[in-house]
Amino acid sequence: MDNKVVNVTFAGLGGQGVLKVSDILADAAFLAGLDVKKSEVHGMSQRGGSVCSEVRYGAEVFSPMVPTGSSDFLVVLEETQVVVNDHKLAPTGVLLTVNDIDMDKLSNKKSMNVALLGFLSSYLDIPEECWTKALKNNLPEKIQEVNFEAFKYGASLKK
Amino acid sequence: MDKRLFLSGNEAVAIAAKDAGVSLGVGYPGTPSTEILENFAEFGGRAQWAPNEKVALEVAIGAAFCKSRVISTMKHVGLNVAADPLYTVAYSGTPGGLVCVVADDPGMASSQNEQDTRRHAVAAGVPVLEPSDSQEAYDFTIKAIELAEKFNTLVILRVTTRICHSKCIVERAEKVSTEPVKEFIKDIKNRVMIPAYARMAHRKMRQRLADIQAINEESDFNKIIKGANDELGIICSGISYVHCRDAAPEANILKIGLTYPLPIEKMRKFAESVKRCVVVEEGDPHLYEACKVNNINVEGKDEMYRFGELDVNRVKRILAKDTTPEEPPKPGKPPQLCVGCPHRISYEILRDLDCIVSGDIGCYTLGVLPPFQAIDAVVCMGASIGMGLGMRASLPESDARRVVSVIGDSTFMHTGLNGITEMVYNRPETGHLVIILDNATTAMTGLQEHPGTGRKLDYTTANKIKIEDSVKGLGVDHCDVVDPLKDKDGLKALIEKRLASNDLSVIVVRRPCILALAKDKKMAEKNA
Ligand SMILES: Cc1ncc(C[n+]2csc(CCOP(=O)(O)OP(=O)(O)O)c2C)c(N)n1
Ligand code: SF4
């Protein structure tokens, strides 16, 4: 792996599982043996305000915050949050949004966040077993099966 | 033991405290510091919420006088509440490992100001360590305890929102074993700060700082990163360090970990070794001013960078002396009271009655935003009652009668009781009305217990202090308890009646926070 740090920004509203998916990505990168940092502003998210979480991984990561305009991927779970965050995207960055997901394909709509994460995974160079383990580590057993399905569905979307 | 971990700064402090054999953690919740004690409890440590930060630090001081390893945690403004014990324990010192973990909030993600704790440390005369990531949060917690024990001093571990809530990889050290306290050892001159002993203690404290400064010149708290050439040097601390590594990979960097008392000669030598030396620090110009006082030739940041957090782009701008206006952050969706939040009903009434509301801090501060706009003043925790009394004392009668103090249950336990004492003692001619919004939790900071909930930090049962008993005991004329959901009209009529009288009244508006109810349900399932 070269020295390039991969920058991913997740955005949405409180309660949508923004922090959960950023936890899973960070854990997957961690399990892959990479250096990784994750940063977010939270505290009042329980009241439905904007939430944003950033993950950076690579051989060596310094700042935990993705510099504005350098996100390689911007993953947005709620439509109104696209304009609030699009300046964070690098000129060559990829925007993935809730609109990429066909909600009818999900057996539980709450797993939309994980479906988007699956979609993101198809762009990233992280081994599958790390994703599987990270999903297991971060989700309660009861809802793992639905989320594995959602993740797989998301991963199949790449054009 | 799992050595390589992925931890937030708060988790790292908590695990380090556990690994270092800290026997007690005591604090008061406050974003971004809250999770430290919660995590410490999860890792098996003994953790307690105190009613406020002053009491928390006092409990910690008592434990440290008995030679325990102890941490006290709080957010930056909490240290103001705890300032009184801080400034004098700085004199007395303690034989224990006493560390006060203080979390600053540059940018005010969730605070009422962005004060810089390093200023308190200088004024009080206690050392400060500033970690720049979770690994250092872990390492410095252990080193802070060791430093505290070695020099008999309280040590402040200053973290910031980004350190607390960012996750990084942490390598854990070996656990140390500590011996339990055996007995009380008398040492009057170092514990009883009457003037005669405090005069000696002040001199001792200054000597202690001089000794620590001397070791800091050579200590491994500070490190130098060699740059590509001698064009640029940066002196930095805390989170700024990692931003600098990204912003200026070619620069020489002196990263300071022990930021008070400073290694002045090391800084001087570093500044002299480069053609241009810039100080990059978040918040107040603590490092920069120390350089200037000591005639060290450095550049500082423009005043515009005193506000808010730094990040990689802002550090680049500082280094480029770019003072053109910055793009304002795009406004996201602001937080709101939850749908179904019991606070909503109270604010609808206060708005409709056109009350002058002296407010306080908690979820209920959101009553200042539309559709309520029903709060007229908020300064700090507990201030609603005193400020309301000041308004009553100053306004003409017609307006004085509209003044209501509104305070939450956790805030009432924190510093509201003192306000009630003042109200009873210096009774306004028009009386006064205090509304206590009792939602049975400290909701704002993530649903912590407090002395009025009947549960301890770890959710076990505790003595429950009843708000109505305590205010009646202090001597108010009326204390009513109302469920806002069951009787909104009755609540409104009662408020009108109390405002029309010259009595001292408290109305406890009691209805649990909906998120606290959900948590209770979850805990009940877990414990079933
Ligand atoms: C001195 C100080 N300590 C801690 C905080 C953090 N803080 C803000 S509000 C609050 C308590 C809120 O609880 P409560 O009064 O019960 O209101 P609720 O949020 O439940 O509505 C705390 C701990 C602070 N702002 N100032
Ligand atoms: S968390 Fe509780 S107190 Fe805070 S807004 Fe929601 S319901 Fe109200």
* pLDDT score recorded for residue B278: 98
Q: What is the pLDDT of residues B236-259, one digit of tens each?
A: 999 999 999 999 999 999 999 999
Residue A42 pLDDT class (50, 70, 90 cuts)? low
Judged by average pLDDT, the poorest of A35-49, B44-58, B237-251 is A35-49
Residue A43 pLDDT class (50, 70, 90 cuts)? low
* Minimal Cβ distance to B336: which of A39, A47, A87: A47
- Residue after which a domain boundary falls, among B183, B216, B249: B216
> How many Å apart are CA B411 and CA B442, to the nearest integer?
8
- Inspect the interface and report whether the beta carbons of B243 and A26 lie closer than 8 Å: no
Q: What is the pLDDT of residues B160-183, one digit of tens each?
A: 999 999 999 999 998 888 888 889
The answer to whether residue A139 sits within a structural domain is yes
Contacts of B167 in chain A (CB under 8 A): 26, 36-39, 64
* B190 and B283 co-located in one domain: no
* pLDDT score recorded for residue A44: 56
Nearest residue CA, atom 5 of ligand 2? B337
Q: Across residues A31-46, what is the average pLDDT?
A: 82
* B185 and B280 co-located in one domain: no
Per the CB < 8 A criterion, the answer to whether B52 and B414 are in contact is: yes
Judged by average pLDDT, the poorest of B204-218, B325-339, B467-481 is B325-339
The torsion of the CA quartet A77, A78, A80, A82, rounded to 10 degrees, works out to 10
Judged by average pLDDT, the poorest of A11-20, B38-47, B341-350, B417-426 is A11-20
Whether residue A1 has pLDDT greater than 50: no
- Inspect the interface and report whether the beta carbons of B245 and A83 lie closer than 8 Å: no
Question: How many angstroms does the Cα of residue B224 sit away from the middle of ligand 2?
Answer: 47
Ligand 2 site, residue B8, Cβ cutoff 6 A: no
Closest-CA distance, B143 to chain A, in angstroms, reads 22
Q: What is the CATH number of the domain that holds A100?
A: 3.40.920.10
> How many Å apart are CA B94 and CA B473, to the nearest integer?
37
The answer to whether residue A77 sits within a structural domain is yes
The answer to whether residue A76 sits within a structural domain is yes
The answer to whether residue B325 sits within a structural domain is no
> How far from the centroid of its chain's Cα atoms is residue B140's Cα?
19
What's the structural domain count of chain B? 3
* pLDDT score recorded for residue B176: 83
DSSP state, residue B204: H
* pLDDT score recorded for residue A46: 58
The torsion of the CA quartet A62, A64, A69, A75, rounded to 10 degrees, works out to 130
- Inspect the interface and report whether the beta carbons of A63 and B313 lie closer than 8 Å: no
* B69 and B200 co-located in one domain: yes
Residue A45 pLDDT class (50, 70, 90 cuts)? very low
* B426 and B306 co-located in one domain: no
* B470 and B374 co-located in one domain: yes
What mean pLDDT is reported for chain B? 96
Closest-CA distance, A159 to chain B, in angstroms, reads 31
Q: Across residues B427-448, what is the average pLDDT?
A: 97
Whether residue B230 has pLDDT greater than 90: yes
The answer to whether residue B324 sits within a structural domain is no
- Inspect the interface and report whether the beta carbons of B243 and A62 lie closer than 8 Å: yes
* B149 and B235 co-located in one domain: no
Ligand 2 atom closest to B343 (CA): 8
Full residue range of the structural domain in which residue B192 is found: 4-216
The answer to whether residue A134 sits within a structural domain is yes
* pLDDT score recorded for residue B332: 81
The answer to whether residue A90 sits within a structural domain is yes
Q: What is the pLDDT of residues B71-95, one digit of tens each?
A: 999 999 999 999 999 999 999 999 9
Q: What is the pLDDT of residues B453-477, one digit of tens each?
A: 999 999 999 999 999 999 999 999 9
The answer to whether residue B331 sits within a structural domain is no
Residue B517 pLDDT class (50, 70, 90 cuts)? very high
* B279 and B412 co-located in one domain: no
Q: What is the pTM of this model?
A: 0.96
* Minimal Cβ distance to A49: which of B133, B311, B333: B333
The candidate with the shortest Cα–Cα distance to B388, out of B354, B348, B360, B352, is: B360
* B404 and B263 co-located in one domain: no
Q: What is the CATH number of the domain that holds B238?
A: 3.40.50.920
* B257 and B147 co-located in one domain: no
Q: Across residues B19-42, what is the average pLDDT?
A: 97
* B98 and B152 co-located in one domain: yes
- Residue after which a domain boundary falls, among B170, B199, B216: B216
Q: Across residues B183-209, what is the average pLDDT?
A: 97
* B22 and B85 co-located in one domain: yes
How many C-beta atoms surround the C-beta of residue B481 within 10 A?
A: 14
- Residue after which a domain boundary falls, among B216, B241, B258: B216
Helix axes B134-151, B9-19, angle to 10 degrees: 40
* pLDDT score recorded for residue B174: 87
Residue A153 pLDDT class (50, 70, 90 cuts)? very high
* B403 and B480 co-located in one domain: yes
Q: Across residues B363-375, what is the average pLDDT?
A: 95
Full residue range of the structural domain in which residue A44 is found: 6-155
What mean pLDDT is reported for chain A? 93
* Minimal Cβ distance to B312: which of A65, A83, A84: A65
A interface mutation test: which of B136, B161, B166, B525 has the most A CBs within 10 A?
B166
Q: Which one of B117, B444, B510, B519 would you pick to mutate in the ligand 1 pocket, going by the greatest count of ligand atoms within 8 A of its CB?
A: B444
The answer to whether residue A1 sits within a structural domain is no
Question: Are β-strands B252-256 and B223-225 bridged in parallel, bridged antiparallel, or unpaired?
Answer: antiparallel
* pLDDT score recorded for residue B279: 98
> How many Å apart are CA B438 and CA B236, to the nearest integer?
44
Q: What is the CATH number of the domain that holds B152?
A: 3.40.50.970
Question: How many angstroms does the Cα of residue B514 sit away from the middle of ligand 2?
Answer: 6
What's the structural domain count of chain A? 1
The answer to whether residue B337 sits within a structural domain is no
A interface mutation test: which of B3, B168, B315, B448 has the most A CBs within 10 A?
B168
Tokens of B370: 């539309």
Per the CB < 8 A criterion, the answer to whether B221 and B147 are in contact is: no
Residue B47 to residues B28, B85, B351: CA-CA distances in angstroms? 11, 20, 40
> How many Å apart are CA B340 and CA B333, to the nearest integer?
19
Q: Across residues B117-144, what is the average pLDDT?
A: 98
- Inspect the interface and report whether the beta carbons of A43 and B162 lie closer than 8 Å: no
Tokens of B113: 């100001």
